[in-house]
């Protein structure tokens, strides 16, 4: 890899001195932008797959149990019908606590 890099750097220096540095810096900048764009798109696709997996795993199941989340700070209680992720929702700047109740109607 180093043996390949030395001639490339030498050619870049010769091109830069002969024709101007824009002929060396522009392709390098284009390559860096291309790599950054592809990496950003790859992260978006990876995150979307992760979220879709969570939604399928957290699909509501008919049972006698229901899960409530309550805020320790102010006492607010939340009943989530559909959970988007496995993380607990936030309230008053901190994660809410999970409590499972068993319904006696069934």
* Stretch of 10-18, 23-31, 48-56, 92-100 contacting Zn ion, by CB under 5 A: 92-100
Q: Which of 47, 73, 77, 101 binds Zn ion (CB under 5 A)?
A: 73
Cα(2)–Cα(7) distance, rounded to whole angstroms? 9
Cβ-count burial 42-70 (b if 16+ within 10 Å, e if not): eeeeeeeeeeeeeeeeeeeeeeeeeeebe
Q: Is 72 in the site for Zn ion (CB under 5 A)?
A: no
- 59 or 74: CB nearest Zn ion: 74
Q: Is 74 in the site for Zn ion (CB under 5 A)?
A: yes
């Amino acid at each position: 890899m180093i043996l390949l890099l030395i001639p490339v750097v030498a050619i870049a220096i010769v091109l830069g001195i002969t024709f101007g540095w824009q002929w060396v810096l522009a392709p390098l900048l284009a390559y860096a932008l291309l790599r950054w764009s592809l990496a950003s798109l790859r992260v978006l696709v990876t995150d979307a797959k992760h979220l879709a997996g969570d939604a399928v795993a957290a699909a509501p199941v008919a049972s006698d149990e229901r899960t409530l989340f309550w805020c320790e700070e102010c006492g607010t209680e939340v009943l989530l019908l559909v959970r988007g992720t496995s993380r607990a929702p936030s309230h008053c700047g901190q994660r809410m606590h999970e409590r499972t109740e068993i319904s006696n109607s069934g």
